[in-house]
Chains A and B, each alone.
Chain A
Amino acid sequence: MTSPRTDAPVLEVTDLVKHFSTGSGFRSGSGVVRAVDGVSFTIGPGEILGLVGESGSGKSTVGRCVTRLVEPTSGSIKLLGTEISSLSRRAMRPLRRQVHIVFQDPYSSLNPRMTIGQIVAEPMRLHGTAKGAALDERVDEMLEKCGLRSELRDRFPHEMSGGQRQRVGLARALALEPSLVIADEPVSALDVSVQASILNLITDLQRDLGFSCLFITHDLSVVEYISDAIAVMYLGKIVERTSREKLFRDPQMPYTQSLLTAAPVPDPVAQRERTRVVLRGDLPSPLDPPSGCPFHTRCPVAVERCTVEVPPLVGVTEPDHLVACHLVDRETGAPDIAAAAAAQGAEAGAGLQTGARRPA
């Protein structure tokens, strides 16, 4: 409601880099974890961008850089047109009400010594947006919006279930009507039936309040449900970014394809008919990322060029379908990794050695 109704992006991130140094201070620079390694994206007003990746891909670090919970190493972060990556804490403070974060773990992200009412009121108190009776009223309103009875305001977090706590986290995050909400795996710790109600709630609130959202998750079915656009991260880099429809209709990056086929669908007929691709190996260490394309060590279709040359994130088949892969071709489109993996599987022999299941 207070979010600006213009087409200017709410968030504009350019070449964001965050390196963590490890080890004793002796030879600093020897151990550098490249958690985020040159990430760029924009989020328009009212847009939900799903940032997808597995553990260690750097997706949460991006969220924390955007809220300045960790200091970015380099790159630009523009919130509502203001460059915030180099702002001092004091100068950042008025902008804090424009961006809020909801964390994954509803058990550790609420102060156990504060009542629900105090937790929701705190941001409004700190920013001085409401006082006294008006503040109380606003807390009740926020709790109600998030599906909690206002009687719960005198309870403590430990008296509530995981789903209720996540609703409190949302009420708190939205109390100041921020332009941007960072949701870091907000439903991962919840049971499916509770997860459904929180996802419904986020969709409803987004429609009513119009905030933009960076929705960080490892679960593709959740981003498919909630996002307008999707960015897939692997080892600190965005490897594919496009609209939801395009990503699910035509996943181009081999990593995206393998993520899509690896997630089992709750339908035994469909699930057992699918050709799945099981990637070999594990995520390489971000301390020592592979040369060239970061995915080439696990990619079933990698060629020599992938091991030396870093693929740029560009639109190959369409200008708004960005992908970082040498093998995506303007004419023939993306490589079919299912076929490639099936061929490799057949070579390796049947039984326990095959990665891919034969198509039915």
Chain B
Amino acid sequence: MTTTVSERVPTGPASDALLSVQDLHIRFSTEDGPVHAVNGVSFDLAAGEILALVGESGCGKSVTAMSVPGLLSPNATVDGRILLQGRDLLGLSAKELRAVRGKEISFVFQEPMSSLNPAFTVGKQIREVLQRHEGLSKKAAHERAVDLLRLVRIPAPERRVDEYPHQMSGGMRQRVMIAIAVACGPKVLVADEPTTALDVTIQAGVLDILRGLRDELGTAIILITHDLGVVADLADRVVVMYAGRPVEQAEVHELFAHPQHPYTNGLLGAVPHREKGVELVAGRRLREIPGLVPSLRSDPDECVFAPRCPRSTEVCVSRRPPLEPTRPHHPAACFHPGEDE
């Protein structure tokens, strides 16, 4: 399982993309006026690739991911293109989308306590997907459900399949969610903060399962997370988002080694962690990013990070920085890109 990056990561153009999101804009109309949640996000996802969408609360990472299977609330307006193997999902009817969801694109949510139905056994909830999408008989679906629980490493799956969600721990429920999500062998799995609610020792197991799905079933994964440790562990490629805009995009090793955008630099400096071979000194100051995330009420024609940015100059508030390569295959939306220090 120790694959090197070069084998995995297609850095080439969109031709081999399984999923291609192009110039995505998402606006919510609310009583207080529109909220510009996502402004111009584009990325490609290749088969078997794990792409991380990273950012802090309110940066639009979850909204971006939820728009892919068409799970946004009715007050959302989505512009742009979401192409799954060339087919634009935004043009599909509700009925056509239902056939895609769960079968070609499926999802795992953050909260394993509330995303399963408490009134049904986990076996029934897994069978439901299989019977609906694959047309399996109840008996065949049951056997497949046991196999799926075994795939996500639930001990004694023959017995566990007849249990209710409340009889399981948080980590176990999250594995059941993953089992349901991969039941029909989806091409794309959207995992929204899949381990945030779990303890670290349980998280490690769930991350291994996600990695296993990619390695063994070739599932492409969109991983939404705020945790840079999880990104470092699992992702092939990373899109960093800030206030609804993509600010930087790169292969994972490249991003951590040569962060270009000041926001990415700030995030990496804010996490307390031991650097290689260097003992962490207590009281060493962590990097802070001063100020607050801007309101999403408008989509101004300037750099949204400028008010908090140590490198900001006049040009930053005069126009919007384009997301252009500052290093090979490494675009950043900044007029003053580069690593700190």
- Known contacts A196-B270, A352-B209: does B252 contact A268 (CB below 8 Å)? yes
Complex formed: what's the CA distance from A258 to B201 in Å?
7
Complex formed: what's the CA distance from A138 to B285 in Å?
27
Complex formed: what's the CA distance from A203 to B279 in Å?
18
A308 touches B (CB below 8 Å): no
Looking at B15-23, B65-73, B227-235, B320-328, the stretch in contact with chain A turns out to be B227-235
Q: Cβ of A221: which chain B residues have Cβ within 8 Å of it?
A: 271-274
Cβ of A349 to closest chain B Cβ, rounded Å? 12
List which A128-165 residues lie within 8 A (CB) of chain B: 161
Asked if residues A195 and B229 are in contact (CB atoms below 8 Å), the reply is no
B169 touches A (CB below 8 Å): yes
B232 partner, pick from A199, A266, A352, beta carbons under 8 A: A266
Q: Cβ of B94: which chain A residues have Cβ within 8 Å of it?
A: none
Asked if residues B232 and A271 are in contact (CB atoms below 8 Å), the reply is yes
Complex formed: what's the CA distance from A355 to B201 in Å?
11
Cβ of B263 to closest chain A Cβ, rounded Å? 9
A208 touches B (CB below 8 Å): no
- Known contacts A192-B267, A282-B169: does B232 contact A265 (CB below 8 Å)? yes
Asked if residues B273 and A266 are in contact (CB atoms below 8 Å), the reply is yes
Q: Cβ of A280: which chain B residues have Cβ within 8 Å of it?
A: 155
Q: Cβ of B282: which chain A residues have Cβ within 8 Å of it?
A: 203, 224-228, 244
Q: Cβ of B1: which chain A residues have Cβ within 8 Å of it?
A: 350, 354, 357-358
B199 touches A (CB below 8 Å): yes
Asked if residues B200 and A278 are in contact (CB atoms below 8 Å), the reply is no
**Chain B contact residue count (CB 8 A cutoff):** 59
Cβ of B229 to closest chain A Cβ, rounded Å? 3
Complex formed: what's the CA distance from A292 to B231 in Å?
38
Asked if residues A54 and B200 are in contact (CB atoms below 8 Å), the reply is yes
Cβ of B19 to closest chain A Cβ, rounded Å? 23
Asked if residues B227 and A264 are in contact (CB atoms below 8 Å), the reply is yes
Asked if residues A262 and B201 are in contact (CB atoms below 8 Å), the reply is yes
Complex formed: what's the CA distance from A283 to B216 in Å?
29
Q: Cβ of A277: which chain B residues have Cβ within 8 Å of it?
A: 204
Complex formed: what's the CA distance from A5 to B215 in Å?
59
Q: Cβ of B169: which chain A residues have Cβ within 8 Å of it?
A: 282-283
Q: Cβ of B203: which chain A residues have Cβ within 8 Å of it?
A: 262, 264
Asked if residues A200 and B288 are in contact (CB atoms below 8 Å), the reply is yes
Q: Cβ of B13: which chain A residues have Cβ within 8 Å of it?
A: none
16 pairs, A vs B, C-beta closer than 8 Å: A161-B292, A192-B270, A199-B272, A218-B199, A226-B282, A245-B279, A248-B280, A264-B229, A264-B233, A266-B273, A272-B2, A276-B204, A282-B172, A283-B169, A357-B1, A358-B1
